[in-house]
Amino acid sequence: MRTPGDTILSVEGLSVGFGRGTARVAALRDVSFTLGRGRTLALVGESGSGKSVTSLALMGLLPPSGRILSGRLDFRTPDGRVTDLARLDGAGFRALRGPGISMIFQEPMSSLNPLFTIGDQIGEMLLLHQDLRAAERRRRVIEMLELVEIPGAAARVDAYPHELSGGMRQRVMIAMGLICRPALLIADEPTTALDVTIQAQILDLMRRLQKELGMSILFITHDMGVVAEMADDVAVMYAGAVVEQAGVLDLFDRTRHPYTRGLLASIPREGLGPDDRLVPIPGSVPPLSALPPGCAFAPRCPHARPACREPVSLEPKAPGHLSACIFDFAGEAA
């Protein structure tokens, strides 16, 4: 059993809405999970499942139309204090971002400013959080570029984003996220736009840096193959809610929710012959403004029964393994 001191992030009952009054749509509904110190938790699900909204809520970056409706987001800061992120104001978040929590966004070209050098943009984090002279900031930035394996870092520090390849720009984003040595790194689909070879290099780099810096990672992805490589624990999201949560090996070996089974059946794997086909999940994620009663996955589920129209909560099916399904499919192959 994980003790409170081992937990760096505890999300309990997080609900997020967009809009106002009767027009408000719940993008997240009672989301709960924990992340252990030095571990990687993968948030998995299709587009629109609520993964990125969860990360924006944790970073205090929800757009003006969005707000946290309920829940606690307890984060253990590097000095041991527990802070409820749901109660922080703008100044509190600005002090915490960088040395406490940092984030790598999905598309570096939309996150990097084309008018400033990469050295200036990485160094801005040090300017905000550490009282360093310009020469010392530059030295630290070059060291970080070397750490993320940018060749010729001393020269590249003065390059502009458009002068770098996609893989290089992603490494710059990682350097920017790590320059203040955060306790928690949120990585929102950091390898989606990269080819397979560069993706593997970036994942290897993140694993190595995690060990060297001792940080925790919240890894957001829709790729179950990446989950198998990166994660210690997994929370599967569907239509704004967590439907299954377990350790990564337990999740793959003893899948307990039909949606997770569908995700695993739809990915390429060893042993597929030329006549074998991947099995897609039929249908699509329902709009959040018109969710079906009870289980949101029921309209797409081959096992759905009338009882699935009743509300179902995320409950333990085995030690450390939770599922939001009235059935238990443990032991069956996905």
Structure tokens at 68: 């946290």
Say what the pTM is: 0.89
pLDDT recorded at residue 4: 47
* Phi and psi angles of residue 76, each rounded to the nearest 5 degrees, phi first: -90, 110
Query: Which residue's entry shows tokens 């096992």?
Result: 303
> What is the distance between the alpha carbons of residues 280 and 262, in angstroms, rounded to a whole number?
7
- Enumerate residue ranges in the chain where pLDDT < 50: 1-4, 331-334
Using CA atoms of 289, 295, 300, 301 in order, give the dihedral in degrees to the nearest 10: 170
What residue spans define the domains of the chain?
1-100+182-334, 116-179
Cα separation, 37 vs 28, whole angstroms: 25
H or E stretch covering 27: strand 25-36
The alpha-helical segments, DSSP class H, found in the chain are: 51-59, 90-96, 108-111, 118-129, 134-147, 153-156, 166-178, 196-213, 224-230, 248-253, 258-265
Given this model, what pLDDT does residue 1 score? 40
CA 61, CA 67: separation in Å to the nearest integer?
A: 10
What is the residue type of 27? A
Class of the CATH-defined domain 1-100+182-334: alpha beta
